[in-house]
Structure 1
């Protein structure tokens, strides 16, 4: 009965989340259903396991949600995101419109701008470029996905995405874990994705297919659409309902003012992770009043928090005249962080309850027994859970909350570098999460005015296929030459 409870609880969570029900309600209900079928105490599971685990996640990662959302909103309202994207478009021109869209998305998301902020800025620019270049608009969502939701989310070393933060407390790693593997994986994803898009563009031109104005959908949704909002906030770290709040600058900043804050995020993150923290004495963290922890458990979050803070200060200093309603902008950014953080924390609580059920031992043993070794089993676990939840961060948190300590012990026993475990887990979470029910996919298609029938196959070919290939390459390299 215990295994049946786990399956029913997970099925309820997936079924109703896909239909737009709030995860804040679904996660505890699904967890308690699983506990009830497994004949476990309900109130104890809710208050002592679910809530404790959810609160622990918020205690670790809410600063990243908060600072990332505020930074993204400041970049949006100052016009910096639009200016950086336009700069990339000018550099590459309409003859390389697809590459311009991909690299513009990569630039702003690797620089720390929240995904949905990037969507609402880059899509209009991409539509203009695709129209002038006579590239079918059905390819636009795939180009945006490749730039914003693949290698800059899971593979590129130092990316400030929440997915890259989640494994750090479990493995004692930094955002730059296994940088060589991350670079190789990024090149694989980018190379395969661009090859497919260029092939699709060439086939469309040969068939005489243009931009396709007649394909404009009449069902485009606004950022505060409730169904879009519920799906989006479980997928990424920004509540799209807050995008329309605040006040945007009427005049975008120069390209340098727009790009410099993005560079600050990357540079300060690198400096703190690999330069400053390793040289300082943090032995006091072992004391009970600091949580009896170590610098390896918190350095990654601290590095990204400092980097985002420095970037926030930079964007305000460089673009002060272009922030006409600073308080409203910062309030909107802060508010945009709350629902995604609570949604992912609720998924963590659900995973903790499932992991605490006696029947979960059988699930754990099955996962660990998957042929190919711990890297393969870790990849399978994160892939499956990300696919089921439609969320890379949700699937990854459930997997690591249930199995993270086990994999950390396996790494210590077998000599596998925890940094390699980190990178495999993050890339694994960012593969099958991009299935049709993924909140980011649904949101992007709505913003573009396209349907799954129009564009999902190309999203699959640039979002899932390259990531699966990159994950296989990283696992083979890790097994052959170790971490680098």
Structure 2
């Protein structure tokens, strides 16, 4: 019965999200409904101590990233940088390569260490302009953004700095470059099959006479095409964010050491010293610093265009980013509540009895990521519960722990993008689209990501590649 309660809460949230209801409102109802059925007296304590606590933790860490990412995307838009890159790309490669261009742009930023949430804000103005000029239906755009941001550069490509590739290192004593050949094979599989699927969807839509669409929401402004900036400046803005993020990620731990401590000797009014581990915030500080540099760079390079609309455009950006952050934080709170339910623990325990180590790892992580709606959340829960067992089983079967690392990392990014996933909801909110309009393409990418895990497992057993 406890398992059915957990699954019912998950199904309710997915259905309501797909039907267009606000996740900020529905997620706590779904979570607390499950708690109510298990123990009515625990509803208030769990709501305050788990749901709101985790929601607040997410906002504390990531709200500035959402805000800065949205402002960066907006100045990219109003400066004309997005249109400049699109115009250059169209003239050199043609409009038919729209999906490939968007995927590459997202992949470069994601592999450079920029958060997948920020990538959506940054690339959306480019994507919208490119789709509009190419007359490709806007509803197909989230699929391309998802393929570039939430797939191979997030967890498959060796060396990616995304958290889904970092978490396994602490459990298996590996590095982010674990199983480079298998990771590359999986990345190529996702990229090729994903682009084939998106192109098939694009050709089918355009063959039916469907255009970009009218009455679209959250449309970027069309700048004066007679005064477009040099596209190299526009491209430099994206490169700058990636480079500064990489440098700050490396140097912040050196500057601050293992921990930071700001006491009353500096700020006499503080009640107690501000302390914490640098490792827990370095990546977030690095992204924030990189985005500030990107915003300043674009503003300086296109000061005349930006200054006229900076106040109004950033107000709009902040409003959209706040909504997106609240959506994702509510999802985070929901996943945290679900993870403490008895039914969730039953499911987690049952997955441990699958025989093959790699299949067990893949199914367990993918299932838990799907239930919680979070790749990093599902991966963390799965490895905390069975990381030692997976390592022992891999050693017994003579499977390198590097292979196990790559499999669990890729599996975390498989079924995580179900309708209630925070990144999916953010993606749809930023693009002004709904689940009903655009989730089919996102789900297609989800299936391809999941199949890639099985493909990589098969490749390892057949060839022994690591």
TM range (shorter): 0.7 to 0.9
Matched, 1:396 2:375: yes
Q: Secondary structure in 2 aligned to 1:325? A: helix
**Are residues 285 and 447 of structure 1, via their aligned partners in 2, closer, same or farther at CA, if it must alter by over 3 Å?**
closer
1:459 Cα deviation after fit: 6.7
2:368–2:379 CA contact under 8 A, matched in 1 = no
CA shift, 1:327, in A, is 2.1
Is the aligned partner of 1:344 residue 2:333?
no
1:115 equivalent in structure 2: 120
Alignment of 1:355 onto 2:355: no
Assess, with a 3 A threshold, how the Cα gap between structure 1 residues 248 and 4 changes in structure 2: closer, same or farther.
same
* Aligned counterparts, 1:203-214, within 5 A: 211-212=206-207, 214=209
Q: CA deviation at 1:419?
A: 9.3
Cα drift, residue 211 of structure 1: 4.5
Change (3 A) 1:46 1:409: farther
Instruction: Give 1:38-437 correspondences, 5 Å limit.
Output: 38-39=38-39, 41-93=42-94, 99-100=100-101, 102-103=103-104, 106=107, 114-115=119-120, 118-119=123-124, 121-126=126-131, 128-129=133-134, 146-147=147-148, 150-152=151-153, 154-155=155-156, 164-165=162-163, 177-178=176-177, 180=180, 183-194=184-195, 211-212=206-207, 214-216=209-211, 220-223=214-217, 241=218, 251-273=227-249, 275-277=250-252, 279-280=254-255, 282-285=257-260, 293-323=276-306, 324-373=308-357, 376-377=359-360, 379-381=362-364, 383-384=366-367, 394-396=373-375, 398-400=377-379, 402-403=381-382, 405-406=384-385, 427-432=410-415
Q: Shift in Å at residue 300 of structure 1?
A: 2.2
Task: Give the structure 2 partner of residue 21 of structure 1.
Answer: 21
SS at match of 2:209: helix
Partner of 1:468: 450
* Residues 391-420 of structure 1: CA deviation (Å, up to 9, x unaligned): xxx333552574464366668888999998
Deviation string, structure 1 residues 319-340 (Cα, Å, up to 9, x no partner): 2222121122222222222122
Do the aligned partners of residues 431 and 151 (structure 1) sit closer, same or farther apart at CA in structure 2, a change above 3 Å counting? same
Deviation at 1:27, TM superposition (A): 1.4
Q: Tell me by how many angstroms 1:443 deviates.
A: 7.9
Residue aligning to 1:234: none
The worse-fitting range, judged by mean Cα deviation, of 315-324 and 282-291 is 282-291
CA displacement, residues 245-291 of structure 1 (integer Å, 9 cap, x when unaligned): x8956633211111111101221222233x32454452334999678
2: CA distance, partners of 1:350 / 1:167: 23
Question: Can you give the 5+ residue segments of structure 1 that lack an aligned partner in the other structure?
Answer: 224-240
1:192-235 deviation digits (Å, cap 9, x = unpaired): 3345667899xx7xxxx9954734497x5522xxxxxxxxxxxx
**How many angstroms does 1:155 deviate by?**
4.4
Change in 2 beyond 3 A, CA 1:89/1:480: same
Taking structure 2 as the reference length, what is the TM-score of the superposition? Answer: 0.73
Structure 2 unaligned regions, length at least 5: 264-271
Deviation at 1:309, TM superposition (A): 2.2
Contact 2:413-2:449 at 8 Å conserved across structures? yes
Deviations along 1:40-59, one digit per CA (max 9) or x if unpaired, are 51111111111111112222
After TM superposition, the structure 1 = structure 2 runs for residues 473-484 of structure 1, keeping only pairs within 5 Å, are none
Residue 15 of structure 1 deviates from its aligned partner by 2.1
Q: What is the RMSD computed on CA atoms of the aligned residues?
A: 4.8
- C-alpha distance in 1 between matches for 2:303 and 2:310: 9
Does the aligned pair in 2 maintain the 1:435–1:460 contact within 8 Å? yes
The residue that corresponds to 1:230 in the other structure is: none
Q: Measure the CA separation in 1 of the matches of 2:315 and 2:403.
A: 38
Pick closer, same or farther for the CA change 1:159–1:29 going to 2, 3 Å.
same
8 A Cα contact 2:107 2:153, kept in partner:
yes
Secondary structure of the residue that 2:339 maps to in structure 1?
A: helix
Q: C-alpha separation between the residues in 2 aligned to 1:315 and 1:38?
A: 53
**Cα distance per residue 1:445-472 (max 9 Å; x no partner):** 9879x977xx95x7766x2454234434
* Counterpart-to-counterpart distance in 2, 1:291 and 1:474: 45
Change (3 A) 1:255 1:247: closer
SS at match of 1:41: helix
**TM-score (norm. length: structure 1):** 0.71
Q: 1:69 to 1:100 in 2, by over 3 A?
A: closer
Question: Is 2:366–2:413's contact at 8 Å kept on the other side of the alignment?
Answer: yes
Q: Counterparts of 1:310 and 1:470 in 2: how far apart (Å)?
A: 36
